[in-house]
């Protein structure tokens, strides 16, 4: 079972939803990077459950422990091991799932592939695995910020059919964090919150779209064939639980335009080459062009709902199953920092590969 991501900045996550702990091992982090548990904790707090009344009420502090790779506040170049202990697992809520497959979950497919599964909260296929990604992403974000002033912002663009107005500026963290739904438009955010609450009261769930924007990435990152920058971003995003779609730049809407309408004209102003428009989303031919990178990630409605659904058991008998346990009626608010983390891991890994090929890497 592959559990690693990245080539030079490589992470390996481990742990199950209702096991003793979850965590990550980071290999390839440059030495002498100042990092503290508190800096990592800021990102984990954005992802943790129980942070508002529109997310799962599971109570987890998600306190990170640094087990290796950091000495006197600086990375040593050795593998960094980060651990977060599980505290509020209530496995008895999943007793019925021992024999019954939850619709649209990984229960059936996991069982078919491995012949065994941890039914408690989904085990390894649970979104709780993403704690390791967010923790590693916090370190990747700091490297990018110190070395090149790269900033990454993700936010909720749409919940169900309710879509926020286009954000014409690069949103600030305070704008995004000002509401629990993490939509920078306050009016739309309020309506999204009510929509999520209504779905939860009906025992139902909602999906939507997260947009991610990255500024400060220079031209030249990525590869022209298999390791295209947008391909690695797509793999990173589609490796997240509940994701169903990815589009960069104009995406599917761009297919409605002619080439004369879609092409980004190139200008040279005072020695700075840039594009007049940015329908390419900051990536052309698999390589960054220096413009702002932006992409959308589609998340399906949460698969666990508090309504009776048709399913089968391990013996193939048709039966019914009603969701139990504590779940998000909409995963998008908590998925925002996860999308940012995965974007940071991809950009940093490509940056290190670029510098390894062309010049020395420095903070």
**283 strand-pairing partners:** 288
Q: What pLDDT is attached to residue 91?
A: 65
Q: Which domain holds residue 188?
A: 4-358
Please check whether residue 124 lies inside any domain of the structure.
Answer: yes
Please check whether residue 24 lies inside any domain of the structure.
Answer: yes
Please check whether residue 287 lies inside any domain of the structure.
Answer: yes
**pTM reported for the whole predicted model:** 0.94
- Calpha distance 199→196 (Å, rounded): 5
Q: Determine contact, residues 304/323, Cβ cutoff 8 Å.
A: yes
Structure tokens at 255: 């297919």
3-state secondary structure of 172: coil
Q: 326: buried, middle or exposed (CB in 10 Å: 19+, 13-18, 0-12)?
A: middle
Q: What pLDDT is attached to residue 325?
A: 65
User: In the predicted model, what is the mean pLDDT of the chain?
Assistant: 93
**Beta-carbon neighbour count of residue 317 at 10 Å?**
10
Q: 358: buried, middle or exposed (CB in 10 Å: 19+, 13-18, 0-12)?
A: exposed
Q: Determine contact, residues 5/16, Cβ cutoff 8 Å.
A: no
Please check whether residue 363 lies inside any domain of the structure.
Answer: no
SS (H, E, C) 211-276: EEEEECCCEEEECCCCCCHHHHHHHHHHCCCCEEEEEECCHHHHHHCCHHHHCCCEEEECCEEEEC
**Over 70: is that where the pLDDT of 139 sits?**
yes
Encode pLDDT of 5-53 as tens digits.
999 999 999 999 888 999 999 999 999 999 999 999 999 999 988 777 7
Dihedral angle sign, alpha carbons of residues 121, 123, 127, 133: positive
**Residues ≥6 apart with Cβ < 8 Å to 312:** 100, 101, 318, 319
Domain of 207, CATH number, reads 3.60.150.10
Percent of the chain with pLDDT over 70: 96
**Over 90: is that where the pLDDT of 71 sits?**
yes
Which helix (H) or strand (E) segment holds residue 195: the answer is helix 186-201
For residue 267, the number of C-alpha atoms closer than 13 Å in the C-beta half-sphere is: 7
3-state helix, strand, coil in the chain (%, to 5): 35, 25, 40
**Beta-carbon neighbour count of residue 310 at 10 Å?**
9
Encode pLDDT of 229-243 as tens digits.
999 999 999 999 999
Task: Please calculate the CA angle 112-117-121 and round it to the nearest 5 degrees.
Answer: 125
What total of structural domains would you count in the chain?
Answer: 1
83 pLDDT band (50/70/90 cuts)?
very high
Structure tokens at 258: 């002619």
Q: What pLDDT is attached to residue 357?
A: 83
Average pLDDT over residues 309-333: 89
């Amino acid at each position: 079972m592959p559990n690693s991501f990245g080539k030079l900045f490589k992470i390996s996550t481990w742990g199950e939803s209702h096991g003793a702990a979850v965590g990550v091992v980071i290999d390839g982090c440059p030495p002498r990077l100042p990092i503290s548990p508190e800096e990592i904790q800021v990102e984990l707090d954005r992802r943790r459950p129980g942070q508002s009344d529109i997310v799962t009420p599971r109570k987890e502090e998600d306190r990170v422990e640094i087990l290796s790779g950091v000495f006197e506040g600086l990375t040593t170049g050795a593998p960094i091991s980060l651990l977060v202990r599980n505290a509020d697992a209530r496995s008895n809520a999943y007793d019925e799932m021992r024999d019954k497959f939850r619709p649209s979950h990984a229960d059936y497919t996991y069982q078919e592939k491995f012949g065994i599964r941890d039914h408690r909260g989904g085990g390894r296929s649970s979104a709780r695995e993403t704690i390791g990604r967010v923790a590693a992403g916090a370190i990747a974000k700091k490297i990018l910020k110190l070395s090149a002033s790269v900033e990454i912002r993700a936010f909720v663009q749409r919940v169900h059919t309710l879509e926020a107005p286009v954000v014409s500026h690069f949103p600030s963290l305070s704008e995004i964090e000002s509401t629990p739904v993490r939509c920078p438009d306050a009016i739309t955010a309020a309506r999204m919150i009510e929509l999520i609450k209504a779905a939860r009261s009906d025992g139902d769930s909602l999906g939507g779209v997260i947009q991610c924007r990255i500024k400060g990435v220079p031209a030249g990152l990525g590869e022209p064939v298999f390791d295209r920058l947008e391909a690695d971003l797509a793999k990173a995003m589609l490796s997240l639980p509940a994701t169903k779609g990815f589009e960069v730049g104009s995406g599917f809407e761009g297919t409605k335009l002619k080439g004369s309408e879609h092409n980004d004209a190139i200008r040279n102003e005072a020695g700075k080459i840039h594009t007049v428009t940015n329908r390419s989303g900051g990536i052309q031919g698999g390589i960054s062009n220096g413009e702002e990178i932006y992409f959308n990630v589609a998340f399906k409605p949460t698969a666990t709902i508090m309504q009776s659904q048709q399913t089968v058991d391990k013996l193939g008998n048709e039966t019914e199953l009603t969701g139990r346990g504590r779940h998000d009626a909409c995963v998008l608010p908590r998925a925002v920092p996860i999308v940012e983390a995965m974007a940071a891991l991809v950009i940093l890994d490509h940056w290190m590969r670029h510098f390894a090929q062309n010049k020395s890497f420095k903070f």
